[in-house]
Structure 1
């Protein structure tokens, strides 16, 4: 059961909370209700600040770039409808672009973490040795399932926060996460079935993988022997056996390029919300904005790489998603 965006209620320090899902709050912002954005900031600030903490070594600079990320997000929310991917993924892409601009501007003097500096100096390349089928299965899922899996599995967020982001009661959110995982399993197996259709030797084993996806792990002796010597079937079976862990390791780096999962969890846990009211939001709400019917600009959609619209100087492999920052200008430098 979802709740309505108008059900914002005061919270300590003058903040507002809402049980409405993120897309509904973003639509409320688009229709002139900036208070809805404060609820979004409260949900996502610490994680975005944690992501920037894996890019930028200076705390004050990380705080400043976090505010800049949300200012860009607010401007886009006033103009454009929500996208399909989880909103936080696009916040991370925007934060990453801000850190890349800092590196381009200040070079060796930029207060960056060693890992991010090396990644940026190498061209911000997406990894070329990561398997793709699990990520492709994720992209096929309905948007609510993608959202549930990102927050509950990839980021391992607190269950109460996941429920608020989804606009559900906590028990309903848990049920949605379970359904999303089941859908991911079956979609992953179906993609593999299609990819292996030209290999007759795999055909008898694929139903066994489907049974595993449905929670029935028993394998025939012939299927077990086939898994032992077939890399494709063996990898798919390993994905199914550790679906949460593999999704957590593979998806962020393929969507974002830069990802330090352990560092992000550490930095997120240490991050604190800034004082309210948010300075960046006060400035943004004081400025006149475009009407809701303003033309849609070329910004934060999730798109594949092309010669005109790529996110970093070294682009991802063809067919992989490239998540663009809010306010993306089409430059090939991560900004």
Structure 2
């Protein structure tokens, strides 16, 4: 019997509900985190009244930020603690000026507030690695490692079971180790250190073979720099507590954890601090006195104390310096209505006050929007609809609402969540600061104010029914701040009869890397085979050979195996494993071995059949994002196929990476095998626009199966503007059994993983053609820089 599902909605689900207008969800967030916020504030301010003021002001501002589409996603508590610290610090900073506003973004960019007493801490590599992680990983590490809470306590906050929290924490710790190592590698370490740093993460978790382990240990004995990195990785929990904890909590962090009495890991956190920090942080009372005197920058808390039971409290006003009297603001904000005490059943945080400002009205915003499909929407397949909204005006927009009308038979993927199913969570988040929820007739998406010259893109993952009608396009109606629809846009197509649908798409500082290899070759020992494997001689096609499995790994028990090197920096956003072979009737599985790991069995999420001359073939896909975390050598083994003349089998890994060094780009992965040749089509057209800017240099990749080196006229053509002839990207023979990253024989029989640089124009169309060969077009990838 499985573990019981979590009954309460997660913090992220509650935040999503707030962004769609459900302010009642904030009451539950308030109840969850108020004790922590009050506990921290008490160690920063000596007066109970000031504690109430500061925490109430913070929660009000954070609510306003979330309503406008900003603020945290999963990691609510660290964001709130940082905001409390900023609020307290601002209220005690000598009162040189008054600034009454609810625009928390003006002084809180949503990153950890650097306390003057801890200046420079944010530059520590382990801190930078933590801040580079996905927000969900940051959240689980914060709650479990820094606050020392048990998985069962954290489960409701993340919307997981206790076991799910434990598993997520394990992945987050491994991700932190890899991010930390990548930062050291990016810092250009000595050449002699790179091989050790590449596998140090695997060494720490005991995942290396004896020979590699001995090599790493010998290097650590001689290299003090790598030994220091190893020690920090080995004691990762201590590093989080002593570096990341103070960055969020400030110099009062130890007092908050020790005196608050709500986290079991507090005493250990204190004991693991260096002596110098223990002395600096000693004594919750001393910290509070110092803060009251304005000597220290103040930490943040997790709780919002509400006003007293029957007393309305006016919005917080920055107090002038003592002993000057408090001057009234030029136009005081309205006084909030009385709020029930926290014990009452209907506790709602104070309403958001409007900012008081003497600055002139900003210049108007000017919005424009586009909507279209990434690749095509194909019957019976998942797909992606892309939506982009730009503000080309001189001022910020008001909050934005977009009503997306999907064609009949096309549904937004996701489902209701929570105890009462009041929240709705998409299967894949739209991204770009958007939150979306299906209504009766439309998909309603919301976004906060859009800054001048800013762009917000959403990728809506949909599922197309088997009987969806062809033709009707996707459309969009856009409005600001609850007004009438002022802008409409329509895609140039809807569900199509043929083409490649999208598997994944995103914007950002991103790029795509891909590699692959064959799992069959000519029989070793046959005359001419060794020559052919090195792309020499006259028998370079699998039609000349009774194809046999190749088994190149050192693992017992594999019948076929091959490797490819995959090199990337940054963080993996998505990774897909594709494999293909001759149909044999077996279950579509593959075995994957990551750098420093052992083989694990991967089951296909999708498998599509195609017809080639003489036999049926297939392409299978599995999402392996959780497994692909670092550069290195990847192995794949034992995919189902059949041996014999002209047969083949092989694989490819396609990875989307977030890399700060990469240009701002849009990426897309399109897949779905299409047979070309005598048993298929002479030409397959693949639209690759997906709202891409025109006339820009792009990188286009293709994964194809069963291309022969000696059968020419396989072409990859790119057209788009209608004025010039299509550009040939792959020459007269594009698919010649050549796979990027392949380790071993140069001839990767039946497997092509290739990429080209091309300039996109108009509505670009990629066409794959053949005259004499038969092959399968499997995957198309596009990376195109964005101008905005």
TM-score, length-scaled by structure 2: 0.30
Moved more, 216-225 or 177-186: 216-225
Which of 200, 215, 234 aligns to 1:209? It is: 200
Q: Say yes or no: does 1:251 pair with 2:273.
A: no
Q: Which residue of 2 aligns with 1:139?
A: 131
Alpha-carbon distance between aligned partners in 2 of 1:241 and 1:57, rounded to the nearest angstrom? 40
- Shift in Å, 1:87: 1.6
Q: Which residue of 1 aligns with 2:54?
A: 65
Structure showing greater radius of gyration is: 2
Which of 83, 108, 111 aligns to 1:94? It is: 83
Aligned to 1:63, what secondary structure does the other structure show? helix
Q: Which residue of 2 aligns with 1:117?
A: none
8 Å CA contact retained: 1:124, 1:257: no
Which of 432, 435, 449 aligns to 1:296? It is: 449
**Structure with the higher fraction of residues in helix conformation:** 1
Alpha-carbon distance between aligned partners in 2 of 1:138 and 1:123, rounded to the nearest angstrom? 18
Alpha-carbon distance between aligned partners in 2 of 1:105 and 1:172, rounded to the nearest angstrom? 47
Aligned to 1:232, what secondary structure does the other structure show? helix
- Shift in Å, 1:61: 2.1
Task: Tell me: CA distance 1:160–1:246, structure 2 relative to 1, closer, same or farther (3 Å).
Answer: same
- Shift in Å, 1:123: 7.9
Q: Which residue of 2 aligns with 1:23?
A: 12
In the TM superposition, what whole-angstrom CA distance separates every residue of 1:30-89 from its partner, at most 9, and x where no partner exists?
A: 223222111111221122222222321233322332222111112222222453571222
8 Å CA contact retained: 1:26, 1:37: yes
In the TM superposition, what whole-angstrom CA distance separates every residue of 1:119-174 from its partner, at most 9, and x where no partner exists?
A: xxx98364226762212222332222121111111222343331111111111111
Task: Tell me: CA distance 1:278–1:291, structure 2 relative to 1, closer, same or farther (3 Å).
Answer: farther
Task: Tell me: CA distance 1:142–1:101, structure 2 relative to 1, closer, same or farther (3 Å).
Answer: closer
Q: Which residue of 2 aligns with 1:200?
A: 191
Which of 251, 257, 263 aligns to 1:265? It is: 257
**Cα RMSD after superposing both structures:** 3.8
Moved more, 61-70 or 38-47: 61-70
Q: Give the gaps of 5 or more residues in structure 1.
A: 5-17, 108-121, 299-318, 320-335
Q: Which residue of 2 aligns with 1:52?
A: 41
Task: Tell me: CA distance 1:85–1:133, structure 2 relative to 1, closer, same or farther (3 Å).
Answer: farther
In the TM superposition, what whole-angstrom CA distance separates every residue of 1:163-195 from its partner, at most 9, and x where no partner exists?
A: 111111111111111111122122222332333
- Shift in Å, 1:292: 6.2
- Shift in Å, 1:280: 9.0
- Higher relative contact order at CA 8 Å, sep ≥6: structure 1 or structure 2? 1
Task: Tell me: CA distance 1:215–1:131, structure 2 relative to 1, closer, same or farther (3 Å).
Answer: farther
Alpha-carbon distance between aligned partners in 2 of 1:2 and 1:135, rounded to the nearest angstrom? 35
Task: Tell me: CA distance 1:26–1:220, structure 2 relative to 1, closer, same or farther (3 Å).
Answer: closer
Q: Say yes or no: does 1:186 pair with 2:339.
A: no
TM-score, length-scaled by structure 1: 0.66
Alpha-carbon distance between aligned partners in 2 of 1:93 and 1:123, rounded to the nearest angstrom? 10
8 Å CA contact retained: 2:70, 2:448: no
Aligned to 1:258, what secondary structure does the other structure show? helix
Alpha-carbon distance between aligned partners in 2 of 1:273 and 1:104, rounded to the nearest angstrom? 22
In the TM superposition, what whole-angstrom CA distance separates every residue of 1:261-282 from its partner, at most 9, and x where no partner exists?
A: 3212134327997732599945
Q: Which residue of 2 aligns with 1:284?
A: 351
Q: Say yes or no: does 1:168 pair with 2:235.
A: no
Alpha-carbon distance between aligned partners in 1 of 2:81 and 2:115, rounded to the nearest angstrom? 18
Alpha-carbon distance between aligned partners in 1 of 2:166 and 2:28, rounded to the nearest angstrom? 22
Alpha-carbon distance between aligned partners in 2 of 1:84 and 1:28, rounded to the nearest angstrom? 11
Alpha-carbon distance between aligned partners in 2 of 1:76 and 1:221, rounded to the nearest angstrom? 53
Aligned to 1:157, what secondary structure does the other structure show? coil
Task: Tell me: CA distance 1:257–1:282, structure 2 relative to 1, closer, same or farther (3 Å).
Answer: closer
Q: Give the gaps of 5 or more residues in structure 2.
A: 97-113, 263-302, 307-340, 355-397, 402-446, 452-659, 661-788
Q: Which residue of 1 aligns with 2:67?
A: 78
Alpha-carbon distance between aligned partners in 1 of 2:162 and 2:252, rounded to the nearest angstrom? 28
Alpha-carbon distance between aligned partners in 2 of 1:281 and 1:200, rounded to the nearest angstrom? 59
**Structure with the higher fraction of residues in strand conformation:** 2
Alpha-carbon distance between aligned partners in 2 of 1:131 and 1:295, rounded to the nearest angstrom? 31
Alpha-carbon distance between aligned partners in 2 of 1:50 and 1:67, rounded to the nearest angstrom? 13
Moved more, 79-88 or 268-277: 268-277
In the TM superposition, what whole-angstrom CA distance separates every residue of 1:243-286 from its partner, at most 9, and x where no partner exists?
A: 011012111334x4824332121343279977325999454179
Q: Number of matched residues?
A: 268
Which of 15, 19, 23 aligns to 1:34? It is: 23
Task: Tell me: CA distance 1:295–1:123, structure 2 relative to 1, closer, same or farther (3 Å).
Answer: closer
Q: Which residue of 1 aligns with 2:235?
A: 242
Moved more, 87-96 or 49-58: 49-58
